[in-house]
Amino acid sequence: MSDHEYVPKSKFGKWFNDRLPLLTLASHLTDYPTPKNLNYWWTFGGILSFCLIIQIVTGLTLAMHYIAHADLAFESVEHIMRDVNYGWLIRYVHANGASMFFLAVYIHIFRSLFYGSYKSPREIIWIIGIIIYLLMMAAAFMGYVLPWGQMSFWGATVITNLFSAIPLVGEGIVNWLWGGYSVDNPTLTRFFTLHYLIPFLILGLVVLHIWALHIPGNNNPVGIDVKKPSKDTVPFHPYIVIKDAFALLMFMIVFAFFVFYSPNILGHADNYIEANPMVTPAHIVPEWYLLPFYAILRSVPDKLMGVVAMLSAILILAALPWLDTSKIRSAVFRPLYKQFYWILLADVLILGYVGAMPAEGLYLLIARVATAYYFIHFLMILPILGFKEKTIPLPLSITEPVLGGFPNAAIVKRKESLD
C-alpha cells in the first residue's frame, strides 16, 4: 500500500485506525500517486464505477415493483412505466444505463489496447477486467430477458440454445438451464435471481481490479514506468478527482440525452410485444453491444464451430498480454501497431454493423472476412509485430515530452549520449 506511514490527527481516529485501518486506506486512496500526463481516456474507470452504482441503485428500486413471473412480468414492467411514481425515469435510466455502461467499457478496453495497459506488470488487472466484461454481458443479457417481451423471449431462446452445440450433453445442459423443455417461467425466475446477483460480483471484482491497479500504479500515455512518488506523479486527490468529475459530467450529458430525448432508440420495438412462444420475430438482433460477437457466431456455417468462434473471440482477449510480444507499451512509439490498432477498431465496428444486418449475401461475406481478420490480428499480427516492428525511441521520463517536444527523438538521443 502507501509508502508513508499515516497517523490520524484526532485521538478517536487513532484509536479507531489502530483497530481497523480504514483511515489508512482512505489516505492511500487520496494520496495515491498518479502519472501527471494521464489524458481524458483515463477518466473512464471513474465513469464505469459511476455506471455500476447507477445500475445497482436503479435496479434495486425497479425490483421493488417488478414481478418475476411469466404471466405478470410484462404487465409489471408496463405498471412501472405508467403507474409507479417516476417509474418511467428509473426504468429508462436502468435500460439506457446498460448501454452507457458498455459504451464506457468499450472505450476503457480500447484505451488499454492503444496504450498497452494490459502488458507486464498489469496482466492481472487486465484479466480481472475481462472477467468483469464477461459478467457484464451475462447481466445485460439476463436483464434484457426480464421484461418478457418478444426479443426477451427469443433472445433467451437463441442464446441458451448455444449450449446445445456441445456434443452429447448439450441437450441436457439446455434443459437444466431452462428448468423445462423451453424458455418458460422457471427460466425467468432464475434469470432474475442471477441478474440481481451479478452486479455485486462485479462490485467485488472492481475492488480487486483497483487493488491490482494500485500495486504497479497507472499506466500512462507514454507507457513508460514512473518513479512514484516523484515529479512524474500528482496525488489522486484533488488532481485526478477533479478531472474525473469533469469527464463524468460530460458523460452524464450524453447519458441524459438518451434517457430524456430518445429512451427507446437503443432498444427494439419488438420488445413491447409480450413474449409468444409460437411466433419468432422476423429479425432477431441482440442489443448493440453484443453485435460484433453475434456477427462472428453467424459467420461460421457450422453450429458448434460458430459457438466456439464466438467464445474464442472473447476469451482470446485474456491471452492478449502474452500474444502481444512487444515490450513497448504505448502505440505512440509503435508506428505499425498504431495502424493495426485502427484497423482492428474498424474491423470490430464493421462486425457490429453486419451483426445487425441479415446474415445473407454481401453482409455474410463481409462478416466472414472481418471475423477472419479479428483472429488474424490477435493470433498472427500481434505476435509477429513484437519482433519485426522498428519502434520510436522512448523518452527518458514522462516529463520530457512535455518540456522538450513530443516525442523528440533528437533530445532523447542527446540525453542518452550524455548518460
Could you list the residues that contact other proteins (CB under 8 A)? 154, 157-158, 160-162, 164, 175-184, 186, 190, 277-284, 298, 300-304, 306, 358-360
Element (H, E) at 234: strand 233-235
Altogether, the residues listed in the chain come to a count of: 419
Under 8 Å between Cβ of 132 and 208: no
Nearer to other proteins, 38 or 295 (CB): 295
Least distance in angstroms from the C-beta of 368 to other proteins: 13
Nearer to other proteins, 231 or 283 (CB): 283
Nearer to other proteins, 39 or 280 (CB): 280
Nearer to other proteins, 204 or 301 (CB): 301
Least distance in angstroms from the C-beta of 179 to other proteins: 6
Least distance in angstroms from the C-beta of 142 to other proteins: 14
Q: Which residues pair with 234 in a beta bridge?
A: 34
Under 8 Å between Cβ of 216 and 176: no
Neighbours of 410 (CB within 10 A): 9
Least distance in angstroms from the C-beta of 397 to other proteins: 53
CA distances from 220 to 34, 128, 397 (A): 9, 19, 11
Least distance in angstroms from the C-beta of 139 to other proteins: 19
Nearer to other proteins, 358 or 405 (CB): 358
DSSP string for 278-323: T---SS----GGGHHHHHHHHHSSSHHHHHHHHHHHHHGGGGHHHH
Least distance in angstroms from the C-beta of 274 to other proteins: 15
CA distances from 155 to 140, 150, 321 (A): 12, 8, 33
Nearer to other proteins, 179 or 263 (CB): 179
Nearer to other proteins, 301 or 393 (CB): 301
Under 8 Å between Cβ of 188 and 148: yes
Q: Quickly tell me which residue has 485501518 as its cell.
A: 21
DSSP string for 144-169: HHTT-BHHHHHHHHHHHHGGGGSTTT
Least distance in angstroms from the C-beta of 372 to other proteins: 17
As a dihedral over the C-alpha atoms of residue 372, residue 374, residue 375, residue 379, rounded to 10 degrees, the angle is 130
Q: Quickly tell me which residue has 477518466 as its cell.
A: 43
Return the closest-CA partner of residue 263 out of 97, 45, 66, 42: 97
Least distance in angstroms from the C-beta of 202 to other proteins: 22
Least distance in angstroms from the C-beta of 141 to other proteins: 14
Nearer to other proteins, 160 or 233 (CB): 160
Least distance in angstroms from the C-beta of 181 to other proteins: 4
| Cβ-Cβ contacts under 8 Å for 50 (sequence gap 6 or more) | 248, 251
Nearer to other proteins, 143 or 281 (CB): 281
Question: Cis ω on the peptide bond leading into residue 229 (within 30° of 0)?
Answer: yes
Least distance in angstroms from the C-beta of 147 to other proteins: 19
Nearer to other proteins, 346 or 365 (CB): 365
**121 three-state secondary structure:** coil
Return the closest-CA partner of residue 232 out of 392, 403, 46: 403
Nearer to other proteins, 175 or 408 (CB): 175
Under 8 Å between Cβ of 82 and 65: no
Under 8 Å between Cβ of 127 and 322: no
Looking at residue 274, what DSSP letter applies?
Answer: B
